[in-house]
Structure 1
Amino acid sequence: MQDQSVLRSTPIPRGQKRRREIAAVAERMFFAQGFSDTTMQTIATEAGASKETLYRHFGSKEGLFSEIVESRANRFIEGLDENFRRPGTVGDILHNLGTRMLEKMMDRNALCLYRIVVAESPRNPDLGRIFFEQGPEQVKERLTQFLAIATRRGEISCAAPVVSAKIFLGAIITYYHMLGLVLPERPPATRVEIKAHVDEAVAMFLQRYKVEQT
């Protein structure tokens, strides 16, 4: 078995490292200025690169933005998969998922990214498609799989897991996500508020989909 310390110390190829650096600069600029007001030239200048380098790496501004969306989504999904692999009851898993989702969705940068996607999707539909497929759709699919497995094990009773997944996700994020989007000056929800909200959503969900005793 290969030593893990060796794996961690493996250097990142120079081109890949530079690509990540440019993407990090672009992300900051998109969040600060919006998508439309940020140009490839200003990103190149801020990153200390040529515009040709940006186009060689990403193809277009949309390609660069799409990579940022995909990178953030992948990091979230990795944590999501870890959550579903943890031992625990269905309630434990759902509570961890709901808490993580609320915390991530109310993050200032996550809200900013969402606003940009909503604003730009009518002009650049691919941005909306990539965001949806890499983010919300992946979460829904993984939760659907989890609920289907839990149903087969007799832990809950979801006749239509995909519908149940949509209902749970909506109950968790809709209210606080909307607050964060339209009232950015409002202080974020506290841990106590998050816990109370998730506790109630999970309790309602488990009550609805409990296994009926015969």
Structure 2
Amino acid sequence: MSVLAVTKSVGPGRPKDMEKRAAILEAAKQLFVKQGFEGTSMDAIANKAGVSKLTVYSHYRDKETLFAEAVRSKCDTLMPEELFRPDLKGPLRKQLLAIARAFFDLITSEDAIAIHRTIIANARTAPKLADRFWQAGPLKVQEGLESFLRAEVEVGKLDVPDMHRAATQFYCLLKGECYARMEFGCGEPPTAREIDEHLNATVDFFLRAYAPR
């Protein structure tokens, strides 16, 4: 029986299957970060997870799918859907600051920086990998923020003519010089105080730009 046939006929269902699925995903996350996409084989993932290669393929049809799921899992951990559920009676600035801090923690984590470098390194040879990454990570958090902003506009707390553009601006502002220097490995990482100042200044800048007219 071919790997493809196994993939089509077997799917995760029983508790034991889900335990194996979780072990595979955890192994993949660790190996992709340490060895990059090209340097990580499905055999290595299977060995680290303590399962057979066929079991890996029964849960994830190819390495690209597994990579995308690893990215999605990381985003869900640090930026869960609950983060974007607006508390329309609560202070807007506090909610935006929570989103800002979660996003900055996500993009500056060692795992995220390693994965981003992998995407750049494989941009020419594996363009579909970049698209999988975008769909699983950046696009997901982008849409979450757009939904949050839309709710705040509807109750009059913000005046945002273009949700997509505003969400993009917010995340780009948060990256700033701090993220660029960390991604390049340039100089010392920012201190906790510097990060706090950067996040607060970014949120205040954004709120002034989109305050109700």
The TM tier, using the shorter chain, reads 0.7 to 0.9
2:205 pairs with 1:199: no
Give the stretch that moved more between structures: 105-114 or 138-147. Answer: 138-147
Equivalent-residue separation in structure 2 for 1:168 and 1:102 (angstroms): 11
Letter in 2 for 1:190: T
Partner of 1:9: none
CA distance in structure 1 between the partners assigned to 2:133 and 2:53 by the alignment: 25
Tell me the alpha carbon deviations over residues 116-153 of structure 1, each in whole angstroms, 9 at most, x when there is no partner. Answer: 22223433333222221222122222222222222222
Change (3 A) 1:50 1:161: closer
Most deviating of 94-103 and 172-181? 172-181
Contact 2:119 2:129 in 1 (8 A): yes
Partner of 1:38: 40
- Mapping of 1:1-214 within 5 angstroms? 13-78=15-80, 80-86=81-87, 88-183=90-185, 186-212=187-213
Tell me: CA distance 1:13–1:204, structure 2 relative to 1, closer, same or farther (3 Å). same
Instruction: Give 2:8's aligned residue.
Output: none
Instruction: Mark the runs of 5 or more structure 1 residues left unpaired by the alignment.
Output: 1-11
81-90 or 122-131, which deviates more: 81-90
Secondary structure of the residue that 1:85 maps to in structure 2?
Answer: coil
Partner of 2:156, secondary structure, is coil
Q: Output the amino acid matched with 1:120.
A: N
Displacement of 1:183 in angstroms is 0.8
> Counterpart amino acid of 1:155?
K
CA distance in 1, matches of 2:58, 2:42: 12
Answer yes or no: is the 8 Å Cα contact 2:157–2:212 preserved in 1: yes
CA distance in 2, matches of 1:99, 1:211: 24
TM-score (norm: length of structure 2): 0.82
Secondary structure (helix, strand or coil) at the match of 1:198 reads helix
- Residue 4 of structure 1 corresponds to none
Please tell me the root mean square deviation across aligned C-alpha atoms, in Å: 2.1
Q: Which runs of 5+ in 2 are unaligned?
A: 1-13
Determine the C-alpha separation between the residues in 2 that align with 1:132 and 1:28: 20
Q: Secondary structure at the match of 1:36?
A: coil
CA shift for structure 1 position 57: 2.4
| Alpha-carbon distance in structure 1 between the residues aligned to 2:102 and 2:76 | 15
Query: Sequence identity of aligned pairs in percent?
Result: 27
Cα deviation 1:51-107 (Å, max 9, x = unaligned): 2222222222222222212222333442x5335334522211111111111112111
